[in-house]
């Protein structure tokens, strides 16, 4: 009879296998999981049964049915490499999987982690914004992150240049916890100049990814990554966002997930203020200080699930 460790390893490998199947995005994976319940049952299903799921055509069904054999070597190698690198996996059904992320309509089947996640329910705010942030934007991102982290809030962002990096550093400067969600595999640091920052984040929080271990930072990965940033938090704070900013994608997804959206206003004559101005016009909450953010989110943090003494010292 297989041991608990053997069963868990099989579950992880099945989830990693599904991640390799071309054409399977988060929504289709969730439909499959809703119907078949487990990754094992998905991979064991016949192409005929798979095609009964809306959105699963003949070619995708064929790929799923043959995935275990096709990707066996890659998945075994990935599982072994992750263990040797000190990474670990968190499955959607694990008790320590983040509760808020579990509740979105397209959660990941498995996360690959460096570092350690907080408790399943934890107070968190995403701070996102322009990669080409102004000096003002960088200063505000660092300031808000530092003050919020000092109050026990976990800061979530995407390790990108600009506002993301400033937010991570602000949380670290305060001795707080920050989570970086990657648009590539957990074994890759992107952008590469953030390797030292990544190492610092790992010591106080976590680096996490839903992509396979060595997946490159492809353009279409980042919108998918943004849904995890939105899903992990109670609220999103946007600091500078251009017309086509990925931060607007994060904000839109956060709205779909029922999260609060806060915006730090910026100068109206700067391109980086276009996106924040649009969000404010659409009903986002303008905030002028970290204290204002804390006042806005206090009801969320004072809920029975989130009450852990947060903000007691304010």
Domains plus CATH for the chain?
4-84 (1.10.150), 115-301 (3.40.50.450)
Mean pLDDT, rounded, for 255-283: 91
pLDDT tier at 314, thresholds 50, 70, 90 = very low
Give the residue from 127, 153, 152 showing the smallest Cα distance to 142. Answer: 127
Does 165 or 269 have the greater pLDDT score?
165
Mean of the per-residue pLDDT values for the chain? 92
How distant, in Å, are the alpha carbons of 98, 175, 194, 290 from that of 169?
23, 10, 11, 16
pTM: 0.92
pLDDT value of residue 162: 97
pLDDT band at 296 (very low <50, low <70, confident <90, very high): confident
Q: What are phi and psi of 263, to 5 degrees?
A: -135, 135
């Amino acid at each position: 009879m297989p041991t608990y460790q053997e069963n868990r390893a099989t579950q992880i490998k099945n989830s990693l296998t599904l991640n390799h199947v071309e054409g399977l995005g988060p929504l289709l994976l969730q439909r499959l999981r809703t119907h078949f319940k487990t990754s094992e049952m998905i991979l064991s299903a016949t192409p005929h049964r798979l095609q009964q799921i809306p959105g699963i055509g003949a070619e995708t069904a064929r790929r799923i049915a043959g995935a275990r054999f096709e990707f066996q070597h890659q998945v075994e190698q990935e599982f072994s490499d992750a263990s040797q690198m000190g990474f670990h996996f968190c499955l959607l059904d694990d008790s320590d999987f983040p509760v808020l992320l579990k509740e979105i309509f397209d959660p990941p089947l498995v996360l690959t982690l460096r570092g350690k996640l907080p408790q399943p329910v934890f107070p968190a705010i995403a701070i996102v914004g322009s990669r080409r942030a102004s000096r003002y934007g960088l200063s505000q991102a660092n300031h808000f992150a530092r003050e919020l982290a000092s109050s026990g809030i976990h800061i979530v962002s995407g390790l990108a240049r600009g506002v993301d990096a400033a937010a991570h550093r602000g949380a670290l400067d305060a001795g707080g916890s920050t989570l970086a969600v990657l648009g590539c595999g957990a074994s890759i640091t992107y952008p590469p100049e953030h390797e030292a920052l990544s190492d610092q984040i790992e010591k106080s929080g976590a680096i996490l990814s839903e992509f396979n271990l060595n997946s490159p930072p492809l353009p279409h990965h980042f919108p998918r990554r943004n849904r995890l940033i939105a899903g992990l938090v109670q609220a999103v704070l946007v600091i500078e966002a251009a017309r086509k900013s990925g931060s607007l994608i994060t904000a839109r997804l956060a709205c779909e997930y029922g999260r609060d959206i806060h915006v730090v206003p910026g100068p109206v004559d700067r391109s980086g203020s276009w996106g924040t101005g649009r969000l404010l016009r659409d009903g986002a909450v303008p905030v002028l200080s970290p204290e204002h953010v804390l006042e806005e989110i206090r009801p969320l943090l004072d809920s029975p699930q989130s009450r852990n003494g947060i903000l007691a010292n304010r």
